[in-house]
Amino acid sequence: MFYLTLVICFFSSILLTPLVKKLAFIIGATDKPNHRKVHSRIMPRLGGLAIFLSFIIGILIFHPADEYHLPIVIGGIIILLTGMLDDVREISPKLKLAGQIAAAAVVVIYGGLKIEFINLPFGGIIDFGYLSIPFTMIWIIGITNAINLIDGLDGLAGGVSSIALISIAGMSFVMGNGYVTVMSLIVAASTIGFLFYNFHPAKIFMGDTGALFLGYIIGVLSLLGYKNVTFISLVIPVIILGVPISDTFFAIIRRFVNKQPLTAPDKSHLHHCLLRNGFSHRQTVLLIYAMAAVLGLAAFIFSQATVWGSLIMILVLLIVVEVFVEKIGLIRDDYKPLLTFMKGLKPINIRNR
């Protein structure tokens, strides 16, 4: 029955997307080209509604059961309405953030989903106490915005989200968390169906309706599978979501280095940098897909490693990411501290005396 549900979600998304496309033009949910956009014509941008409706069809058919299920769905509706409002009227960042806070609050405060403590690798514990609620909400809101920020090329956010959801489902299956596995795959099937219309050249954008919903559901499900665990285990969702998290992190660093406001838009995100480095639109998207898939695999290997192996793997991943960031100029073209340091290392010549 579950596999049939996934098939129904997939085809529901395919069938619903053309209808949502017509609705987008009727209500004015369109995206006009400008200097920051890569498209050159007016595009409908309500596609996330098709993903959400397919997701609702899936959970109504299969009825996944969990104590957090109702709060997750209610929060999903709030974030969907926030995204739809922005796609139609382009609301202010403050109002958009208010919607995200409301959605996160439903899950964290009403639903009771929160990270209360973390067991440290070599003994000891970090008890968040009253900070558990804001810490958990910051995670959900942060992932929501991270997915929204990478939604800059045809099929990019949808594909990266699908890979992350499949990775989360795989890890949850190994850990025996059936609810997270089921929910992740239902959303992934709905998103992959939408990609038939969203991959380059796109016929419709998911808009904030889709990006905010996917970011929200990924943030919640990634947290649901790893709350109240060790520090090492908590790193797993960070690795799985490495592409959107790192892009968001370096966007903050870039704006700090360039003395720009944190909310200032720019054309220096990961996909922009790859385009400037000579990759085509389709090549850039597929390359980022590959990065997301490699990180998903790395998360699985990480979960099976020893504590010392995990720490070494984290260090290697950080070095690789930093070198890549400096190579493509993600922060600034002249920002290359690690590469400069590596070039300055001269080989030691051993001479026979």
pLDDT in tens, 64-90: 878 899 999 999 999 999 999 999 988
Annotated binding-site residues read 148, 208
Q: Is the pLDDT assigned to residue 110 strictly greater than 50?
A: yes
Task: Round to whole Å and give the CA distance between 17 and 45.
Answer: 11
Report the share of the chain in percent with pLDDT over 90: 50
Does 262 reside within a domain?
Answer: yes
Q: Which residue has the tokens 């340091």?
A: 341
For the entire predicted model, the pTM comes to: 0.89
Show the domain range for 288: 2-344
Q: What angle do CA 121, 114, 57 make, to 5 degrees?
A: 120
Q: What is the pLDDT of residue 353?
A: 44
Q: What average pLDDT does this structure show over 205-213?
A: 94
Cα first-last separation, the chain: 77
Question: What band does 40 get if pLDDT is binned at 50, 70 and 90?
Answer: low
Does 352 reside within a domain?
Answer: no
Q: Is the pLDDT assigned to residue 197 strictly greater than 90?
A: yes
Task: Round to whole Å and give the CA distance between 7 and 337.
Answer: 49
Q: Given phi > 0 = left and psi -120 to 50 = alpha, else beta, which region is 99? A: alpha
Q: Is the pLDDT assigned to residue 341 strictly greater than 70?
A: yes
174 contacts: CB under 8 Å, gap ≥ 6: 300, 303
Q: Is the pLDDT assigned to residue 267 strictly greater than 90?
A: no
Tokens encoding 49: 């509604």
Task: Round to whole Å and give the CA distance between 73 and 106.
Answer: 10
Does 350 reside within a domain?
Answer: no
Does 351 reside within a domain?
Answer: no
User: Across the chain, which distance is largest between two alpha carbons, in Å?
Assistant: 84
Of the listed ranges 69-73, 234-238, 298-302, the least confidently predicted one is 234-238
Question: What band does 24 get if pLDDT is binned at 50, 70 and 90?
Answer: very high
Task: Round to whole Å and give the CA distance between 139 and 135.
Answer: 6
Using the CB atoms, write b or e for 34-66: b if 16+ within 10 Å.
eeeeebeeebbbbbbbbbbbbbbbbbebbebeb
Does 349 reside within a domain?
Answer: no
Please give the C-alpha separations between residue 182 and each of 128, 174, 260, in angstroms, as whole numbers. 29, 13, 42
What is the residue-wise DSSP string for 106-165? IIIIIS-----EEE-TTS-EEE-GGGHHHHHHHHHHHHHHHHHHTTTSTTHHHHHHHHHH
DSSP 230: B
Does 325 reside within a domain?
Answer: yes
Return the higher-pLDDT residue of 132 and 32. 132
Q: How many distinct structural domains can be found in the chain?
A: 1
Does 202 reside within a domain?
Answer: yes
Q: What is the pLDDT of residue 347?
A: 58
Q: Is the pLDDT assigned to residue 225 strictly greater than 90?
A: no
Task: Round to whole Å and give the CA distance between 92 and 314.
Answer: 37
Annotated binding-site residues for Mg(2+) read 148, 208
Does 167 reside within a domain?
Answer: yes
Using the CB atoms, write b or e for 177-210: b if 16+ within 10 Å.
bebbbbbbbbbbbbbbbbbebbbbebebbbbbbb
